[in-house]
A and B are shown apart, each in its own frame.
Chain A
């Protein structure tokens, strides 16, 4: 998700950041108003006992209430560690549970009054909030123990989950739990000096490893309430097609089929088992009205994007005088880039369970924006949002897919439950084909990059033009568009950090009927690629070393330069390699974290190639859980690399060509490079790591492969075989 512009570039906690989402109210049909909130500060000043983030039971177990969705990024571990650190708890006594949907308590401090996970903000927005909650808890436990012992609080300490008096007396957290529940939390508890951190920065094991290794973790797929029915849905074959007529008679005759309902989004089939619903699906007859559907294929869309690119778009950056630079240029170079639509294709196809009963709506799903899903469900069912209870489940991946402004698959499930009139719980499961063909892709994007050089051969001008679809326009999040252009098109391009006198970035929003969405690192997926590949081309034209060239122009950006130097050093940049091997580099900032990657590739005479190794350096401020950070870099690299090497969603006459993993090709074991991750030691506030590993992977590899090619790789994906001719 792209909420990056609401994340303070420097995590200055006194800086006030306001986010107005009044459009949400209108768009999603529920009232949350436009309540400005202060980023980075804990919400309530006065609260009773431990508040709503921490529970301590008499057995001394400490449960942290996790307001974010864990879709693999390890936030349950990270957030729990922050609380444990400030409480001086022992890691073995820590537990966690997902928070309910309640934005009054669990809003993302960077999203204003919205509870949500995205934009790599979970750790960053919770950092001070949970440190304060943990510190307040410790303060109260010390006070309670001091009172019990009739001693001064200054004589009481806490370490490794034990409350101790200097005399040697000890109490457990559980011993004082009931006393603490009656106390009032301090408004400004003393926070630890970071140099005293014990858990933070250490290699804490992932808290969800044991259950996920034994097949015991629960996902939406596994939700099994008493009497639960299963549902599948048939979506239109083309985006924008509607139902002309429906014949459900055959399906209704099948044993175990409970209902077949026409919804505004398709046809839902409810049965006693998933297999029965799948069988019934085959005999439902639908006549579609395709008159208003998007019927253009990829070919037509590329043509239209290229036509649009002939004109200047909305200019979002214009430093110096690019026109003059090009007019007076001794030499110019240009590249045209084509990025296809990409499917998130999380391992767990989208799903959501719903029960509407007795004036309540219960939802079991993995939701990145519970506030939206809750609001949409409330408006569909005709309830107030507080009557919609979301029971968050682990998500089997998401990469942005479970954060849909119109609630998408949650809306499907709620509509089926509502229109079937059944009060049994119903678990809607999309098939892989539904997941791949029902939309919400990384937008297809066309880019033109141009550079000019003066008569001394110096770079004199840089011009980037982007043609893509807006993710935000026309959605309840349109209020996030603050200028003439949805900045998700150009993020990572318009804020190019390299020192240049003349630089211009402009963009066109194409209007296409294919639904698009944030896909792990959003606009950075294509802008990091185009800018870093083109930058290498500029360096090559000037006869400069790619690392040296970047460093010369990153003097005002020490964190970019820091990761670049570290990655280059660890990878042995410039080392002598056999003829069939080469290195390539890319550096990129996204979501306030900085990542550089050096790729090493092997290219064979027949054009086949392998990515052998990626050395990655990341600066994400204070590293709370270093091993989780490394895992996110590894995974982010695999995700980014897979997309650049082999993934594409294409359309023919408006219909998606891909259906399943036999024609959509994510990264597999045999293609995965060895990865080495180095974390920059930093005292800056922590920033996210879910997305920032992804953007530099593709361009680093492309820059390495370039050494064997006549021209750079500008059309993605690369495919299995390079054109060496």
Chain B
């Protein structure tokens, strides 16, 4: 039996241990904010945090999260997360919105580790998250804005 924390709550899973985390979260736990985009960790739409690090849940076998702690877009509640989501809304970053849960998860993970990212840092952290609406221009601005608002609070 696989046991882990999902958004702070204990969950268990029995069955095919190669099943990707994404499908457990979406179909078993019925949290649908994380999306399926490629299935091979090339687009980032499924990004979740595993023990605080961003992972591509579509390519993370559920066996890998045993004993760990997983956070999805539904479980975001840190100060950083609030700053990011506020910045996202202030700038109306979203278009179709499908990739945005993943974008936000990657952005939050970046800012949790580096609260003053440069453009180069943003490229490195965000290049794995595709957006076909090409909202990159606003994502970059939103990350800088979130960084500034966090600095003000501190």
Contact = CB atoms under 8 A, between A and B. Distances in A.
Interface of A: 70-74, 205-206, 208-219, 221-222, 224, 230, 273-275, 279, 345-349, 394-399, 429, 431-432, 627-628, 631-632, 634-639, 642, 660-662, 666-670, 672-675
Contacts of A397: 96, 98, 132-133
Contact of B32 (A224, A275, A639, A674): A224
B89 A661 contact: no
A200 to B, nearest CB: 17
B101 A215 contact: yes
Closest 7 pairs between A and B when the two form their complex, measured CB to CB: A638-B134, A215-B33, A396-B98, A72-B96, A212-B97, A215-B73, A72-B95
B89 A213 contact: yes
Contacts of A631: 92, 95, 135, 138
B34 interface: yes
Contacts of B101: 215
Contacts of A205: 89, 92
A138 B30 CA distance: 43
B40 interface: yes
A432 B39 contact: yes
Given A72-B94, A347-B45, 19 more contacts: A71-B96, A72-B96, A213-B88, A216-B33, A219-B35, A221-B35, A224-B30, A347-B37, A349-B36, A394-B96, A431-B39, A631-B95, A634-B138, A638-B134, A638-B136, A639-B132, A642-B134, A660-B38, A668-B130
A347 B40 contact: no
B9 interface: no
A507 B101 CA distance: 45
A661 B36 contact: no
Given A274-B23, A631-B138, A635-B134, A209 B94 contact: yes
| Most B C-beta atoms less than 10 A away, residue of A394, A632, A661, A673 | A661
Contacts of B123: 669-670
Contacts of B127: 668-670
B122 interface: yes
Nearest to B35: A221
B126 interface: yes
Contacts of B20: 275
Contacts of A667: 134, 136
B78 to A, nearest CB: 14
Contact of B97 (A224, A396, A627): A396
Interface in B109-154: 122-123, 126-127, 129-140
A635 B135 contact: yes
Nearest to A675: B137
Nearest to A396: B98
Given A347-B130, A669-B123, A429 B23 contact: no
Contact of A206 (B35, B43, B92, B140): B92
Nearest to A433: B39
Contacts of B96: 70-72, 346-348, 394-398
B108 to A, nearest CB: 12
Given A215-B72, A348-B35, A669-B126, A634 B134 contact: yes
A256 to B, nearest CB: 10
A214 B98 CA distance: 11
Interface residues of B, number: 52
A621 B23 CA distance: 46
A632 B16 CA distance: 43
14 contacts: A215-B34, A219-B35, A274-B27, A275-B20, A349-B36, A394-B98, A397-B132, A432-B37, A432-B40, A631-B138, A635-B134, A660-B39, A669-B129, A674-B137
Nearest to A659: B40
A508 B147 CA distance: 55
Contacts of A396: 35, 96-99
B42 interface: yes
Contacts of A398: 96
B27 A347 contact: no
B73 A214 contact: yes
B40 A72 contact: no
B49 to A, nearest CB: 13
Given A634-B138, A662-B40, A666-B130, A219 B89 contact: no
B134 A672 contact: yes
